[in-house]
Amino acid sequence: MEQEDESEGAAAEQQADEAEEQLADDLLLHFERVLHSDPLIDEVGFLHPTQFGSLGCGQDGDSASQAPEFQHRYFWCRDHKLAICSEILPKLYRAARDAYYNTRNAPSQAVHLMSLTKVLLILCPDMLTAWNSRKMVLSEKYDFTKLKDELQLCALILSYSPKNESTWSHRRWVLKQVAEQHQDMAQLVEKESVLVKEIAERSKMNYRAWRHRCWLIPYMTRKQVLDELKKSTRWSELHVADNCCFHYRRSLLLALLDSCLGNGEDSVSWESETCMLWKDELRWNEMLIRRYQGRESLWNHRRFLSQWWIQQLFSVEETCPSTTSQVDLFITQEIGLLSECLNDPADEFGESCVQAELSALYILWISKQVPAVKGKLEERLHSVSIVGLKDVLVRACRPEKRWLWMNVLGLPDRSQ
């Protein structure tokens, strides 16, 4: 009797396992059908069963005669939006993974392999093996339509995982394949820029998205670079603490410089236009610094702008000597900004203290990066009742910053 009970228990357990496996396979098959029926899905959500129940029926057009009842409880797709019940994710992933490993080495299963990897990557976008399998299939024959579908898949994954490096990397690979076949990338670059902007709105401090936008710059025309610089101005003003957008502007400005150097007939006029853009950027940056105190990203941006601008002024003075030194005028202006920051009244949030330290570190940085202006800086500091760089350190910087910069600049310690 005991042996019969054990055998019946084993048989029941085996039947339960088979039923579980069949359920997972059915779920995978239905999920593939959902994705195939609506290739324009642009958003995915993973919902708890209690939330999923409030959505009602599953995919539009499904009925009890077309699919088992459990499929309605786990998938919902409408208006290109897809919801998946989190209860089935482990089963669905295991079924997709096992099917993928059984299919990936079969040369005649490319279509099925693309379908399985799509399911896998939606569930686990960090699976590099699946991304590589898709690359191998797409590399066999260039197909612009399939590559556009690949961009759609990447956008779908980024809608819920906006910082996934594997997806951004694959997206760049796809764009590179397109660029190698098509000379005109203007329309694609425009769409990519819009995508990154939308993702950056939803996902703060997303340096992966902004790095992708920087990667696109070499594919932009000069007009697009100028347009991007203009369009990113308002966004930067609303996100002054996000260094990513300012890094993007720096990349755009450097691209304009490269364009200036590589230009032919109108290189002189283009260089003049670039200088005007740089002056406007400096004025705009100063306005933001005065408006938003204690934002390190703004001061970092000014360091970049000032270093190139000072070098440009020096080169102009060498070729066209003038009685009025533009470098002196610029240094005087920067010392004036420093003086204002040092003398700002204290506030309850301590932002004025942070602003004073950032302005001091900015002046110290210039003296280190552009040694030719160090003497001019020392001279101009006296005009605002500051003895020298050491006095700037003592008045504005915390002790740990003070000691660091004294060593960097070779200033004697006050205690000696």
- pLDDT the model gives residue 64: 37
% residues pLDDT > 90 (the chain): 54
The yes-or-no verdict on residue 24 having pLDDT over 60 is: yes
Q: Specify the range with the lowest mean pLDDT, choosing from 126-135, 221-230, 403-412.
A: 403-412
Q: What is the pLDDT of residues 14-23, one digit of tens each?
A: 665 677 788 8
- pLDDT the model gives residue 9: 59
Instruction: Report the pLDDT averaged over residues 256-282.
Output: 74
Q: Is the dihedral of CA 139, 130, 194, 78 positive or negative?
A: positive
- pLDDT the model gives residue 106: 73
The yes-or-no verdict on residue 57 having pLDDT over 60 is: no
d(CA 106, CA 116): 13
Q: Which comes out higher in pLDDT, residue 196 or 270?
A: 196
Q: Specify the range with the lowest mean pLDDT, choosing from 131-145, 185-199, 239-253, 319-333.
A: 319-333
Q: What is the pLDDT of residues 283-292, one digit of tens each?
A: 999 999 999 9
Side-chain half-sphere of 320: how many Cα atoms within 13 Å? 5
The yes-or-no verdict on residue 353 having pLDDT over 80 is: yes
- pLDDT the model gives residue 215: 96
d(CA 156, CA 121): 10
User: Edge to edge, what strands does the sheet with 81-85 contain?
Assistant: 43-47, 81-85, 75-78
Local confidence band at 320 (pLDDT 50, 70, 90 cut-offs): confident
Local confidence band at 60 (pLDDT 50, 70, 90 cut-offs): very low
Q: Residue count of the chain, please give it.
A: 416
- pLDDT the model gives residue 391: 85
- pLDDT the model gives residue 354: 92
CA 213 from centre of chain? 7
- pLDDT the model gives residue 231: 92
- pLDDT the model gives residue 375: 84
Supply 281's token pair: 């950027």
Q: How far is CA 284 from CA 65, 131, 198, 233, 311, in A?
A: 65, 43, 24, 9, 20
% residues pLDDT > 70 (the chain): 87
d(CA 363, CA 359): 6
Q: Specify the range with the lowest mean pLDDT, choosing from 118-127, 346-355, 403-412.
A: 403-412
Q: Tokens 């409030």 correspond to what residue?
A: 54
- pLDDT the model gives residue 362: 94
d(CA 89, CA 94): 9
Local confidence band at 398 (pLDDT 50, 70, 90 cut-offs): confident
Q: Are 111 and 71 in contact (CB under 8 A)?
A: no
Q: What is the mean pLDDT of the chain?
A: 85
**DSSP-assigned states of every residue in 56-107:** -SSSTT--TTTS-HHHHHHEEEETTEEEEEGGGHHHHHHHHHHHHHHHTT-T
Instruction: Report the pLDDT averaged over residues 324-339.
Output: 89
Q: Which comes out higher in pLDDT, residue 342 or 285?
A: 285
The yes-or-no verdict on residue 295 having pLDDT over 70 is: yes
119 φ, ψ (degrees, to nearest 5): -60, -45
Q: How far is CA 57 from CA 84, 88, 92, 298, in A?
A: 13, 17, 20, 51
- pLDDT the model gives residue 319: 78
Burial 126-155 (b: 16+ CB within 10 A, else e): ebeebbebbeebbeeeeeeeebebbbebbb
Within 10 angstroms of residue 196's Cβ, the number of other Cβ atoms is 23
- pLDDT the model gives residue 66: 42
d(CA 347, CA 292): 13
Q: Which comes out higher in pLDDT, residue 197 or 416?
A: 197
Q: Specify the range with the lowest mean pLDDT, choosing from 56-65, 238-247, 258-267, 403-412.
A: 56-65
d(CA 207, CA 225): 19
**DSSP-assigned states of every residue in 9-42:** HHHHHHHHHHHHHHHHHHHHHHHHHHHHH-TT--
CA nearest 151: which of 189, 186, 184, 123?
189
